[in-house]
Structure 1
Amino acid sequence: MTGPSSNHIVQRSGGLPTDSDPSLIESTEVAQALDVDIATGLSSDEAKRRLEEFGANELASAPPVPKWKKFLEQFKDPLVYLLLAATLISLVAWFIERSHAQAGAEGAEALPFDSIVIVLILVLNAVLGYLQEVKAEKAVDALAQMTAPQTSVLRDGRVTRINTSDVVPGDVVVLGEGDTVSADGRLVASASLRIAEASLTGESVPVGKRPDKLDSAKALGDRANMVFNGTSVTQGTGRVIVTGTGMNTQVGKIADMLSQTEDDTTPLQKEMAHVSKVLGIAVCIIAVLVLVALAVMEGFHSTQDVIDSLLLAVSLAVAAVPEGLAAILTVVLALGVQRMAQHHAIVKKLSSVETLGSASVICSDKTGTLTRNEMTVERVLTPSGQVEITGTGYAPVGQMTGINGGDLQGDNPARAEAMLTLAVGSLANDGELRKSDAGDKWEIVGDPTEVSLVVAARKIRANKAYENFQRVAELPFTSERKRMSIIAEDRSDARRLSVFAKGAPDVLLGYCSRISVNGQVRPLTEGDRQTILQSVEELSSQAYRTLGQAYRPLNTPSLSEVPGVQANAAGQVRDIAEQSEVIEKDLIWTGMVGIIDPPRTEVRDSVAEAHRAGIRTVMITGDHPLTAARIASDLGIIKPGDEARTGEELDAMSQEEFDKTTSKISVYARVAPEHKLKIVDSLQRQQNIVAMTGDGVNDAPAVKTSDIGVAMGITGTEVTKESAKMILADDNFSTIVAAVREGRVIFDNIRKFLRYLLSSNVGEVFTVFGGVMLAGFLGITQPESQGVTLPLLATQLLWINLLTDAAPALAMGIDPQTDDVMGRSPRRLNDRVIDKSMWGDIIFIGIIMAIVTLIGMDMHLSGGLFTDRSVAALGHEEQMVEARTMGFTILVFAQLFNAVASRSALQSAFVGLFSNKWLWGAIGISIALQVLVIYVPFLNTAFGTTPLGALAWFECIGLAAFVLVASELRKVVLRAIEKRRA
């Protein structure tokens, strides 16, 4: 990739040498060199051209694995090596036979059909595995596109959000608190900007940033006017001209390490590997026992006997372990995650699906998640009274009225005070209201609470009187400060400065010493404070969020002249964020607003469903305790009358008291980010699996610490999204509950196809083992015969696996919900995927499958218990071919019946029998292919089969159906036991 160095500028329009250091140059010169207007940014066409020239803003990664290599990797499996050994053994056997017989002579095959069939099945298995892997990769790639980080840039004169990969040199990037810096760049403007650069420089404390040029070259950590890719904004705002993207950034220099990382193995995949290993060892032991039994009971009379026995042992081992299990598991998880994404829950890692179904506590913020996040100013409380603002949503249409719609009489002082209050609120504001591109609706940029003040001010034209004010500095809002201030210059009054502030009323009052009443400013009395705080309580009890407004004229044209503000000899004010106590003092209280954010109508049902599923919902908010308790009560999180705990109360508790509180209390108000982290830790100490939502940069630690970190897709910062395992595209609590339900369904489906695959494969093992051990009893071995007679051929076992393992199992992996997944308690993470009950089911069905298969074979062999008299005229070899065809077909149909039965461990298979069309399609394809194997002549030769008559088909299907009957009877017993326990 080519492009400008992060430390040097590519010359685009002349004026600067190409090796200039942007930190040593004025920002205007940097803009000129990169041919960009700081006020409007790049045009869309120019940005597109630069993207083609410099490439995507991405770090270099390992080259993609070629398709041919991916295909060959399908053969990297010990089980495949066993099959290749079987192929070699079969080929050697064919050559030996050919050397002792003339071509075409009786007993000698013209072609090594066994070897050919095994190789074909191997290739077909590899093709299926490759296609499944490609499908899973496409699903994951689509997911990655949905979770792609975004950056705010100035394009065509407007701030817009684009994928970070599309940022180009010369772009003007707009930074705000919680953003991740997407490229290296030169700062052109900032307001109390602080950036955490620990990931790059090791500096643990966020670094203050200023746009002033440096007087000499500095080390990376001291370049105060530069920002670097991968760092994060912890405070303030800024604008940056991008000087380096992709590999031409500081972090790009160490990007080689990224290509050396390996994919993590999920707990589920580890358990599947463990199951396959244990099962493989067990079956290898059985295979050895079969070989020993054959040698003792039958004896090896020829080389062919030895070869046939070895082929049987190898096939037995392969039959027991589902070769496509890993591929099917990955596809099922990927498709499930893709389904979640369609319902606005974007899960970043497949492994998180397992954790989702185990969630026992959901800790949620209030605003926007439990509520609609359509903040609307309805009340304005001033020293002279209270007024209402009509209109809902973000359209600036409404008016000021008295309480309950009454008229404001004459020169009501509350009217003027309300105008002043909303004007201050709209000035101390980072939000923006604008018409959509289509022009048919209003859209907001920034925090909805802030924008609600802008909307209210525009409704009553309160902003008109203060249009001459221009912001010159900002003291940004933080979770600790709970307030935000700006310093603005009045261009119509000798360019005098004033401070405008808004924040939590109880906090902001602490910085006020005066109050504005009916146009007059007087000292703020203790009585005034108590009246205001009482009004806060009243509004909060009505579920209003309150914000206070205050201001102070500085009466000076320069910040450096404000008493107490520290400046250098040149009159430059040092970091204003560190001087907030000096600037935000002696403020004049104007009033406060009551903002309503109604609960989402669908959340109450979701909370009830979560409770039914054994999942506790906990609300954690920075709002007033009464507001939090009211909303929580309306949503059913707590009972009416229950109280919320505050961050101040939590601070006074010991760990034991804290844990006792979190085990009972479900609403927390006026909390700081560190309280969220402590609550998560406490709940986890109580063995809970905790999902935690967050949006701000300070929520990131709690989100990352929780078992399931959930970031807000709309209001969430990039830092929080990176820390989370799941992103809510709609910021809706109901989406979390829906994701938990989907996670449980996916996990149930995994158990379904595991039950199906393992019970079917165990049935094959028991069939072969029983056929060898009971060969004489069943008529498989005749008294006058010599040598080894195999119950089923290796190629037949391999065909069964190919036919019944892939398509039906994959179809079961996307099965619709069968059981009431939200009607049971959360699964514990240390619970085994295959528990004792499931192993019992697997072995029970395997035994039934073996019994019906051996009975079907016995019916077509003379000398058995259930001999069909029609076979008496056939020779033993002909009888064995027909008996094997019967057993072969019964096993196929038994496994297809098992697929229907395995959709639920307790519920009858006949409930929702045809709800999974994919499963019935897979069953239909399997039946059609099995019919071909039985009736196509060259396939008869390859698989050792013979055409069956109508009666034989009735026998096959009837015997195979016993698997479904036995499963239904077992479920009846298990349901009765469950009912008795309940």
Structure 2
Amino acid sequence: MDRSNFSDRSTPAAAVGDRTAAGRDASPGRPGHDPSVREVADLARELDVDLSVGLTGAEAARRLAADGPNELRSKPPVPLWRKVLAQFQDPLIYLLLVAVAISVVAWAAEGATGFPVDAVVIAAVVLLNAVLGFVQENKAENAVAALQSMTAATSTVLRDGRRVTVPSAELVRGDVLVLGEGDAVGADARLVRATALKIQEASLTGESEAVTKNPATLEAHAPLGDRLDMVFKGTAVAQGVGTALVTATGMDTEMGAIAEMLDATEEDPSPLQREIAGVSKLLGVTVIVIAVVVMVVTALVNEVSTLSDFVTVLLLGVSLAVAAVPEGLPAILSVVLAIGVQRMARRNAVVKKLHSVETLGSASVIASDKTGTLTKNEMTIERVVTASGEVRLTGVGYRPDGEVLSAGGPLEDEALTREVGMVLGGGSLANDAQLTRRDGEWEIQGDPTEAAFLVAAHKLQGTVDRVRTYERRGEVPFTSERKMMSALVDPEGDGAWALVTKGAPDVLLRRCTRQQVGSDVVPLDDARHARALADVEALSGQAYRTLGVAYRRVEEGTSAERLEDSERDLVYVGVVGIIDPPRPEVADAVEQAHRAGVRVMMITGDHPTTAARIAEDLGIVGAGEARAVTGVELDRLDGGALREVTRDVSVYARVAPQNKLQIVDALQADGHVVAMTGDGVNDAPALKSADIGVAMGVTGTEVTKEASKMILGDDNFATIVAAVRQGRIIFDNIKKFLRYLLSSNMGEVFTVFLGVVLAGVIGLAGASDDAVVVPLLATQILWINLVTDSGPALAMGVDPEIDDVMGRRPRRLSERIIDRHMWTGILSIGLVMGLATLATIDIFLPGGLVEGHDSLEVARTAGFTTLVVAQLFNAFNSRSETTSAFHRLFVNKWLWGAVALAFALQVAVVEVPFLQAAFGTASMDLAHWAVAVAMASSVLWFDELRKLVWRARHRGEVA
């Protein structure tokens, strides 16, 4: 029952780095240091309050006016205009806006005739991207305000000697809180009195079991979870009653400390955002250089001298800039990420920010909270050990489904069955919890450990029915000093009263003189006593919390007041092993994560032995390799030593919120992309600091949901691993359309640049009387970008998994999304496109390397078509950097649809009269079309040969 029975509760000499609320402010009237080590009487004098009367109404009002309401400070909301403006703060967007400005200037210089199509289209792309980003990221971060929602609406206090209920926001220092079962604690307070008081602090400390409180003053500072004489804002009373003196309110509370940490934690851009920003800057410089070089070379080669020729050269530079910049990239990236978000949502992973999708796929470490994340947060009895042997109970959680097994089979031994029934029945009688079924779901009220007895009793046939017939007349409540609880019952309904006791086994055994063996009661001699203790130690060594059960007959008429005197000469029945069980699906998810090169770490407020056991059970660490480092140990380490520890240790226990931040920061400093999962208030700062914070959607607090970037709708750790897989697929797809867009756009750049430089070689120079003859018109370049960039790139964004994404290590931060190998492919494919396009023009133009017989308009149209079709072939190339385009060729119906639509549109722009006039094209016969398609296919065959050579050189390596 008491957590102190099952774990090391010794108080450390110092809690280095522990942030005590009271210690943050030593102004007059406030306790000058940690109130947990101060005598209550001293605190009462300092706060000027009579503990039996409480504050007067007037004094409480004065203090409220002086100190402010008992609320957590929240950030002012971000204005709408700033949210909208933020969508344009991206280097690639800046580049596109410059392209818009240049297009408008060129259009104006040309006489402002017609419509500035280039500028309008690019501007529309920018606006579309902003709208997508704003819609997806409109959830304003307000984690501190979410903390406020956890505070109880009202609290009971002593005012003017009477109990009154006041809004929790009106609590002040010096108020005397009156606590009862089910109450939420409205402020940090020092206990004055407590009777069987247990506080559920999981949301603040991560401790899965309710903490038994004791008003006795601590001898030294202790970590937050070990301050047994304190209660804290935002926690809940699981059992018992008590009174407490309020020592801190609002931002001075421990929850306020977390709010400050959360407020001060800044979010870094995601790896994808950093990479795209780098690519955008590189493209910006490249575009300027290419445009300037081409304009200078064109002016020199063609001896530009008139204003009209200058405008033509300027338009050529603008069209080249438009060709080099994948203006659809921001919108396509947003759409692809949004599609990924929707896919994840169908798998119960709700992503709040688009770029977080890819970040999760890059995660190299998943640092997970234990309670409620890796485990069910439902205390479960798994073992019962008695004089006649040991049984194992199947089933986990509060649903009373399962079996009682002995030696791997059904429990058949009569003596063992009787003893186990007495243990589970006795634990259910000396018990204040309730197990109820509501709308098909099982719920508990009271202490989770006591509820475990009620659940276990259902699994042994007949036990619950017998317990329900018992009449209970009185009890001796549990206290931390006694470490046990007793109930007076009439087991047979015949007036033969019995005292049933459960508690810490070592304490209980000292009061026992006999032992139950089957239906007999035998003396508890030294040998039996030693064996019973050995059973307890064996369970504790397996990280079980242990509780013993004993009983004795009492005289008829024994009063409830005299029950405590009867807690002697007990008959020892047996001991149970209780644990918060792992979620059944987590072990497989951990194995998948390890296969993908993702390290799984456990960071919990629970006891080190329990944490190590769960870590072994789940495969987080190997058998016998578990080593749990505590928060106190972490506080003693400097930065370098902390990084060394985080490289080797995967299990951390008894940690405070700042310890979680330390671990996350150390991992990030070591180059890791960290995904941090959690559900409690204590997890929120680390979730916000991590590269991607993952909150539990069912058991998680509003704080963690607001601080996180992703929320699990089913609290299933396996969903995280599924999201990692989806994140990797999305990242691969982003690389696909980046490879496609950049190589295709480089094809346009090489076509224009080499077309100008080699105009005399391929027959362009003499094909027209104009001073400047270009292989493609500006409108044709814009058409290529509109037709080929959008549809196929978007279709690649939903491409299914081509390679085994979970069979490779995570992407390192030092790895570029566009590395040297990818740049080589982009440039080589672009060069082949450009050469194929110019060769097609040469084939149909008179003069040049190949003698042709068509007009400039027809030859240019053939080259224009070749470039379009080459880019459509390139869409299949780009699905993998190393795998053949024919691998799983037909799995993406959207890509085939986009390619078919683009080809149909190209046919229309070549053959439809009004489109011919708009884009400067001319009709072609079947031979022209055949040549154009054949020349365009050279892109496919070249890339197949390049991939074949790469695979031969890297045989056996993961692509």
TM-score range normalised by the length of the shorter chain:
0.5 to 0.7
TM score, norm. by length of structure 2: 0.68
Who is 2:453 aligned against? 453
Contact 1:178/1:718 (CA < 8 Å) preserved in 2?
Answer: no
- For structure 1, which runs of at least 5 residues remain unmatched after alignment? 1-23, 30-56, 96-111, 156-166, 183-188, 199-205, 211-223, 241-249, 476-482, 493-497, 564-583, 872-878
- Larger displacement relative to structure 2 (963-972 or 616-625): 616-625
Question: In the TM superposition, what is the alpha-carbon distance from 1:467 to its structure 2 partner?
Answer: 5.4
Report the 3-state secondary structure (helix = DSSP H, G, I; strand = E; otherwise coil) of the residue aligned with 2:511: strand
Task: Write the letter of the residue equivalent to 2:870.
Answer: A
Who is 2:839 aligned against? 855
Rounded to whole Å, the distance in 2 between the matches of 1:288 and 1:862 is 30
2:899 maps to which of 908, 911, 923 = 923
Who is 2:325 aligned against? 321
Rounded to whole Å, the distance in 1 between the matches of 2:569 and 2:321 is 84
Rounded to whole Å, the distance in 2 between the matches of 1:698 and 1:528 is 45
Q: 1:883 to 1:141 in 2, by over 3 A?
A: farther
Who is 1:436 aligned against? 438
Rounded to whole Å, the distance in 2 between the matches of 1:751 and 1:702 is 30
Rounded to whole Å, the distance in 2 between the matches of 1:299 and 1:939 is 32
Rounded to whole Å, the distance in 2 between the matches of 1:487 and 1:741 is 50
Who is 2:348 aligned against? 344
- For structure 2, which runs of at least 5 residues remain unmatched after alignment? 1-51, 58-72, 155-166, 171-178, 188-193, 205-210, 216-228, 244-252, 491-498, 553-557
Who is 2:222 aligned against? none
Q: How does 1:364-379 map to 2 (within 5 A)?
A: 364=368, 376-379=380-383
Who is 1:746 aligned against? 730
Contact 2:360/2:723 (CA < 8 Å) preserved in 1?
Answer: yes
Task: Write the letter of the residue equivalent to 1:345.
Answer: A
Who is 2:655 aligned against? 673
1:804 aligns with 2:785: no
Who is 1:408 aligned against? 414
Contact 1:195/1:235 (CA < 8 Å) preserved in 2?
Answer: no
Q: How does 1:297-308 map to 2 (within 5 A)?
A: 297-308=301-312
Who is 2:334 aligned against? 330
Q: 1:232 to 1:897 in 2, by over 3 A?
A: farther
Who is 1:118 aligned against? 118
TM score, norm. by length of structure 1: 0.67
Rounded to whole Å, the distance in 2 between the matches of 1:361 and 1:620 is 12
Q: 1:398 to 1:337 in 2, by over 3 A?
A: closer
Who is 1:548 aligned against? 547
Who is 2:32 aligned against? none
Contact 2:608/2:629 (CA < 8 Å) preserved in 1?
Answer: no
Who is 2:5 aligned against? none
Report the 3-state secondary structure (helix = DSSP H, G, I; strand = E; otherwise coil) of the residue aligned with 2:414: coil
Contact 1:363/1:692 (CA < 8 Å) preserved in 2?
Answer: yes
1:310 aligns with 2:314: yes
Contact 1:83/1:315 (CA < 8 Å) preserved in 2?
Answer: no
Task: Write the letter of the residue equivalent to 1:861.
Answer: L
Task: Write the letter of the residue equivalent to 1:79.
Answer: L
Question: In the TM superposition, what is the alpha-carbon distance from 1:732 to its structure 2 partner?
Answer: 3.2
1:964 maps to which of 940, 947, 950 = 940
Rounded to whole Å, the distance in 1 between the matches of 2:717 and 2:416 is 46
Task: Write the letter of the residue equivalent to 2:791.
Answer: A
Report the 3-state secondary structure (helix = DSSP H, G, I; strand = E; otherwise coil) of the residue aligned with 1:381: strand
| Deviations 1:337-356, CA, capped at 9 Å, x for gaps | 33223223344444443442
Rounded to whole Å, the distance in 2 between the matches of 1:226 and 1:627 is 25
Who is 1:643 aligned against? 624
1:613 aligns with 2:596: yes
Contact 1:753/1:809 (CA < 8 Å) preserved in 2?
Answer: yes
Who is 1:789 aligned against? 773
2:858 maps to which of 867, 873, 882 = 882
1:274 aligns with 2:278: yes
Contact 2:511/2:569 (CA < 8 Å) preserved in 1?
Answer: yes
| Deviations 1:203-256, CA, capped at 9 Å, x for gaps | xxx9x999xxxxxxxxxxxxx99998xx6779999999xxxxxxxxx999xx9x
Contact 1:179/1:719 (CA < 8 Å) preserved in 2?
Answer: no
RMSD of Structure 2 on Structure 1 (CA): 6.2
Task: Write the letter of the residue equivalent to 1:435.
Answer: R
Q: How does 1:533-682 map to 2 (within 5 A)?
A: 533-536=533-536, 538-539=538-539, 545-549=544-548, 591-595=574-578, 603=586, 605-618=588-601, 632=616, 642-647=623-628, 671-673=653-655
Rounded to whole Å, the distance in 1 between the matches of 2:415 and 2:202 is 54
- Larger displacement relative to structure 2 (761-770 or 368-377): 368-377
Who is 1:891 aligned against? 867
Q: 1:391 to 1:948 in 2, by over 3 A?
A: closer
Rounded to whole Å, the distance in 1 between the matches of 2:599 and 2:580 is 23
Report the 3-state secondary structure (helix = DSSP H, G, I; strand = E; otherwise coil) of the residue aligned with 1:377: strand
Contact 1:714/1:731 (CA < 8 Å) preserved in 2?
Answer: yes
Rounded to whole Å, the distance in 2 between the matches of 1:600 and 1:594 is 18
1:514 aligns with 2:511: yes
1:777 aligns with 2:761: yes
| Deviations 1:333-386, CA, capped at 9 Å, x for gaps | 233233223223344444443442333344556676566777653543356865
Q: 1:444 to 1:234 in 2, by over 3 A?
A: closer
1:421 aligns with 2:418: no
Q: 1:410 to 1:181 in 2, by over 3 A?
A: closer
Who is 1:32 aligned against? none
Question: In the TM superposition, what is the alpha-carbon distance from 1:283 to its structure 2 partner?
Answer: 2.1
Rounded to whole Å, the distance in 1 between the matches of 2:354 and 2:482 is 40
Question: In the TM superposition, what is the alpha-carbon distance from 1:473 to its structure 2 partner?
Answer: 9.2
Report the 3-state secondary structure (helix = DSSP H, G, I; strand = E; otherwise coil) of the residue aligned with 2:924: coil
Q: 1:410 to 1:861 in 2, by over 3 A?
A: closer
Rounded to whole Å, the distance in 1 between the matches of 2:689 and 2:403 is 46
Contact 2:551/2:572 (CA < 8 Å) preserved in 1?
Answer: no
Report the 3-state secondary structure (helix = DSSP H, G, I; strand = E; otherwise coil) of the residue aligned with 1:778: coil
Question: In the TM superposition, what is the alpha-carbon distance from 1:677 to its structure 2 partner?
Answer: 7.5
Task: Write the letter of the residue equivalent to 1:792.
Answer: L
Question: In the TM superposition, what is the alpha-carbon distance from 1:330 to its structure 2 partner?
Answer: 2.7
| Deviations 1:160-205, CA, capped at 9 Å, x for gaps | xxxxxxx9999xxx999999989xxxxxx9956699999xxxxxxx
Task: Write the letter of the residue equivalent to 2:336.
Answer: V
Q: 1:737 to 1:588 in 2, by over 3 A?
A: farther
Give the aligned length.
Answer: 813
Q: How does 1:187-226 map to 2 (within 5 A)?
A: none
Rounded to whole Å, the distance in 2 between the matches of 1:392 and 1:647 is 25
Task: Write the letter of the residue equivalent to 1:796.
Answer: Q
Contact 2:362/2:810 (CA < 8 Å) preserved in 1?
Answer: yes
Contact 2:752/2:775 (CA < 8 Å) preserved in 1?
Answer: yes
Rounded to whole Å, the distance in 2 between the matches of 1:727 and 1:178 is 28
Report the 3-state secondary structure (helix = DSSP H, G, I; strand = E; otherwise coil) of the residue aligned with 2:937: helix
Q: 1:769 to 1:176 in 2, by over 3 A?
A: farther
Q: How does 1:176-255 map to 2 (within 5 A)?
A: none
Rounded to whole Å, the distance in 2 between the matches of 1:262 and 1:645 is 33
Q: 1:946 to 1:529 in 2, by over 3 A?
A: farther
Question: In the TM superposition, what is the alpha-carbon distance from 1:722 to its structure 2 partner?
Answer: 5.4
Who is 1:933 aligned against? 909
Question: In the TM superposition, what is the alpha-carbon distance from 1:802 to its structure 2 partner?
Answer: 1.9
| Deviations 1:542-568, CA, capped at 9 Å, x for gaps | x78443247999x9999xxx99xxxxx
Report the 3-state secondary structure (helix = DSSP H, G, I; strand = E; otherwise coil) of the residue aligned with 1:775: coil
Q: 1:950 to 1:593 in 2, by over 3 A?
A: same
Question: In the TM superposition, what is the alpha-carbon distance from 1:885 to its structure 2 partner?
Answer: 1.8
Q: 1:754 to 1:499 in 2, by over 3 A?
A: farther
Question: In the TM superposition, what is the alpha-carbon distance from 1:860 to its structure 2 partner?
Answer: 2.4
Q: How does 1:429-508 map to 2 (within 5 A)?
A: 429=433, 433-437=435-439, 440=440, 442-443=442-443, 451-457=451-457, 460-461=463-464, 462=467, 465=470
1:867 aligns with 2:851: yes
